[in-house]
Amino acid sequence: MKVVSKTIQVSSKGENDIIDITQELSNVVKGSNIENGTVTFFVSGSTAAITTIEYEPGLIADFPEMLSRIVPKNIEYKHDNAWHDGNGHSHVRASLLGPSLTVPVIHGNLTLGTWQQIVLLEMDTRPRNRNVILQIMGE
């Protein structure tokens, strides 16, 4: 079994930026020469998340609206009281969604559905540069 680790950099525009990184990740997986196995995608940082979504304008609007219903911005966060950085909701949203995703790789391809894109979700209140780590395991 081989293990290949790579990092890509993604720049976000700030809160609720949802960035389709499917093609870039797929290219890195193909370049690893691992035909069959699994790949884990992981974003470093406690105010960003990775998930899958159908990347179309309706859902790109619906998803942040869902987040504001479940984790509202304008309530008290102990984090903000302690650190005064105004992003308590960002941390809670990122923890809820999670920083990583595992996808099976078969014949060198990610086993995604046609309408299933991999996205980086920026939860922080300002633009950030994010490192997304890929660890591909297989043969």
Q: Which of 50, 59, 36 is nearest to 8 (CA)?
A: 50
Distance (Å, rounded) from C-alpha 35 to C-alpha 108?
A: 4
Shortest Cβ distance from residue 46 to Zn ion (Å)?
Answer: 8
CB atoms near residue 31 (< 10 Å): 12
Shortest Cβ distance from residue 68 to Zn ion (Å)?
Answer: 18
Write the burial class of residue 119 (CB in 10 Å: 0-12 exposed, 13-18 middle, 19+ buried): buried
How many residues touch Zn ion (CB under 5 A)? 2
DSSP state of 89: H
20 binds Zn ion (CB under 5 A): no
Q: Which is nearer to Zn ion, 93 or 136 (CB)?
A: 93
DSSP 3-state of 12: coil
Q: Which is nearer to Zn ion, 45 or 64 (CB)?
A: 45
Residues 74-113 close enough to bind Zn ion by CB under 5 A: 85, 87
Shortest Cβ distance from residue 10 to Zn ion (Å)?
Answer: 20
Shortest Cβ distance from residue 126 to Zn ion (Å)?
Answer: 11
Q: Which is nearer to Zn ion, 14 or 104 (CB)?
A: 14
Q: Sign (positive/negative) of CA torsion 81, 85, 89, 94?
A: negative
Q: Which is nearer to Zn ion, 45 or 108 (CB)?
A: 45
Residues at the interface with Zn ion (CB under 5 A):
85, 87
